Chains A and B, each alone.
Chain A
Amino acid sequence: MWEAIVANRRRSALLISVMAVILVLIGYSAGMLIGGPDAGGFGVLVALGIMTVMLLVYFTSAESVLMYGTYARELKREDSPQLFDVVDEMCLASGLGFTPRIYLIDDPAPNAFAVGRKPETSAICVTTGLMYRLNRDELQGVIGHEIGHLKNRDVQFMTLAAVMLGTIVILSVIVRQYFWYGGRVRGRSSSRDGGGQLQIIILVVGLLFAILGPVMAQLLYFACSRKREYLADASSAQFTRYPEGLASALEKISQAHVPLTFASQATAPMFIVNPLTAATGEADSVFSSHPPAKDRIRVLRAMTGASFADYEAAYRRAKGGALIGSQTLKSAGQQTIRAPSNQGPIQTHRETHDAVRRYHGYMRLHCNCGLDISVPDGYEQDTIRCFRCGSVLTIPTATTVPAASPASANAIPPVIPGIAPPVLATTGPLQFHRTNRNSWESFRCACGRTIQLSPAFDASHITCTACGRTIAVD
């Protein structure tokens, strides 16, 4: 949507300038509070420095910073082919031109969000709770919504806002704490003239900003993010040609009543349904970052076609007022809603479960009786008894090649896992022999850490994440 992209570009510029002004004011007042009236300029310098750091963080590593607190793990295609298929489908439908990375968060609360400073580095996150609950049509609707955010450049603005908001909140907390717990306005006694009064006024204004800064930042943030949820819903309906998929997904997500454990004020607006109010029920106020899910569902279900024009009509009927820009509506054609796909519940429950287990370092052993056993990381014995048939399985371990012969790095004799004793070697290269190249395989490093090899693993060696040793894989 052309208008949405332009609006987001404008908002980003506005946000950066407003944030700069707020920061300078807070910096000035903080400087005067802490170091006396002469330190105001120093405070401004500090604030500008912080602004620079913020922008540096944003331009270099915004995605990883925002992803850091969520414990999200990147998925590979082998982990969940169906999820990747759905994302590919939506990328094709939207003409996005590239596939975002996909992350999985191990959390029972169903939710999803997208982050990314620019489209090429963007990522879509889903929770395991979402994967367990939705069928293919519903998942398509959710992914379509996130791709819509990417297409409209919402994600860009949200990422910028989240990075900036995070910094503002931290800064004003520092100022407030200093003021309440240790701060004395030392400069006050030395102010004798009009300049001093002016400084006090600036100080008070600055202090107000320190208190109001986070609230204002949040208000700005929320005011922007409400309409964009409707716009992303409209995009989703247009991509999938099936608004009921997203409507039913939103219903499931909002009625799950499971709180998301890692959601914070700074990241909440990025999610498809507000994770902070999802567990308690939603209130439509100026402070809520999302429009109520029930309103969004009502608009989606009132649609008579799948185009932007149909969404606009449904929105006007349900909520009143205009939503989509006229430029977009002019080129929106007639699109009929397709029939449900009947592709049934997606088969990803097991896949998701296995992926989560792998990320927690579980080793997967296949017994000849057909049972797959998950062995947790840190299991100390070298063998395990099958729960069903009772046969004893050996834990595959990378074996050590004696360091004595200098040519050992090249001429490593083939070693069968499990046969050599898993002594914790201090020297010599490690070696692991792969038995099956077409499936997931896990083995234990000599230090005890479980190492996973995906079906796509094609290198000659891998580095242990715990002890850093290189293990040759053949």
Chain B
Amino acid sequence: MPIVIILLLVLVGLAFLVVLWIAGAYNGLVRLRNQLENAWAQIDVQLKRRHDLIPNLVETVKGYAAHERGTLEAVIQARNMAVSAKTVGERAEAENVLTGALKSLFAVAEAYPDLKANQNFLALQEELTSTENKISFSRQFYNDTVMTFNTRIEVFPTNVIANMFHFTRHDFFEVKAAEEREAPKVQF
């Protein structure tokens, strides 16, 4: 009789430990997913900031280099594409195009000494530099978190919990071209 009771107690104890572990693993995954969403929101904030800065920049450049119509239009178009992008993949693509367009705009600005001395242009340039940095750092943190999250939901034993509660893989915010894998650079 006592042996049965002891066995029963051991079983109850084991079940309790398993439940405790499931709760811990589940909470860990939820925490990571929230961190992920927060990181994505951070990227969003910075991208929006860049979108807001671009019309000002284009206006300022237009005053000095109106005949560089092609470059200016490319920037505007890239910006509008980026604003209307929906999925993570689409968005990453559009933002990369925008970074490239901005790069060529600043390259064009090199040829206009008056523009380069303009206070407004200088302030915008600093703002955009910092925003580019912030985008790349936010993206970096987002990707790091995605990697931890994806690993966590695929390895045993947390994958059991992940399948049970429908945690799904997240996409990386990838930069396509190999040479653009580093922080997007704007040469002034």
Contacts and interface: CB of A to CB of B under 8 A. Distances in A.
Contacts of B137: 89-90, 92-93, 239
Contact of A92 (B134, B147, B151, B183): B134
B163 interface: no
A88 B49 CA distance: 14
A85 B130 contact: yes
Contacts of B181: 336
Interface string B174-188: 000000011101010
A341 B148 contact: no
Contact of A342 (B126, B130, B185): B185
A436 interface: no
Nearest to A347: B126
Contacts of B96: none
A145 to B, nearest CB: 15
A96 to B, nearest CB: 10
A241 interface: yes
B182 A338 contact: yes
Interface string A313-346: 0000000000000000001010010110111000
Interface in A286-338: 331, 333, 336, 338
A12 interface: no
A413 interface: no
B39 A341 contact: no
Interface string A330-374: 010100101101110001000000000000000000000000000
A241 B38 contact: no
A88 B134 contact: yes
B148 A95 contact: no
Contacts of A241: 140, 182-183
Contact of A93 (B126, B141, B151): B141
A239 B129 CA distance: 18
Nearest to B186: A343
A333 B185 CA distance: 23
A81 interface: yes
B182 A92 contact: no
Interface size, B (range) = 20 to 34
Instruction: Pick the most buried of A333, A342, A343: most chain B CB atoms within 10 A of its CB.
Output: A343
Interface string A75-91: 00000011001001110
Contacts of A89: 130, 133-134, 137
Contacts, number: 53
A329 B46 CA distance: 30
A342 B187 contact: yes
A95 B35 contact: yes
Interface in A214-263: 239, 241
Given A342-B185, A342-B187, A331 B133 contact: no
Contacts of B185: 339, 341-342
Contacts of B42: 92
Nearest to B181: A336
Nearest to B145: A95
A195 interface: no
A94 interface: yes
Contact of B141 (A82, A95, A339): A95
B144 interface: yes
A347 B129 CA distance: 13
B129 A339 contact: no
Contacts of B183: 241, 338, 341
A414 interface: no
B126 to A, nearest CB: 7
B138 A333 contact: no
Interface string B112-151: 0000000000000010011001100110110011011001
A312 to B, nearest CB: 17
A97 interface: yes
3 A-B pairs with the lowest CB-CB distances in the bound complex, closest first:
A93-B137, A338-B182, A85-B130
Interface of A: 81-82, 85, 88-90, 92-95, 97, 239, 241, 331, 333, 336, 338-339, 341-343, 347
25 contacts: A82-B130, A85-B130, A85-B133, A88-B134, A89-B130, A89-B133, A92-B42, A92-B134, A92-B137, A92-B138, A93-B138, A93-B140, A93-B141, A94-B141, A95-B144, A95-B145, A97-B38, A241-B182, A331-B147, A331-B148, A331-B151, A339-B182, A339-B185, A341-B183, A341-B185
Given A82-B130, A95-B39, A342-B187, 19 more contacts: A85-B133, A88-B130, A89-B130, A89-B137, A90-B137, A92-B134, A93-B137, A93-B138, A95-B145, A97-B38, A239-B137, A241-B182, A331-B148, A336-B181, A336-B182, A338-B183, A339-B182, A341-B133, A341-B183
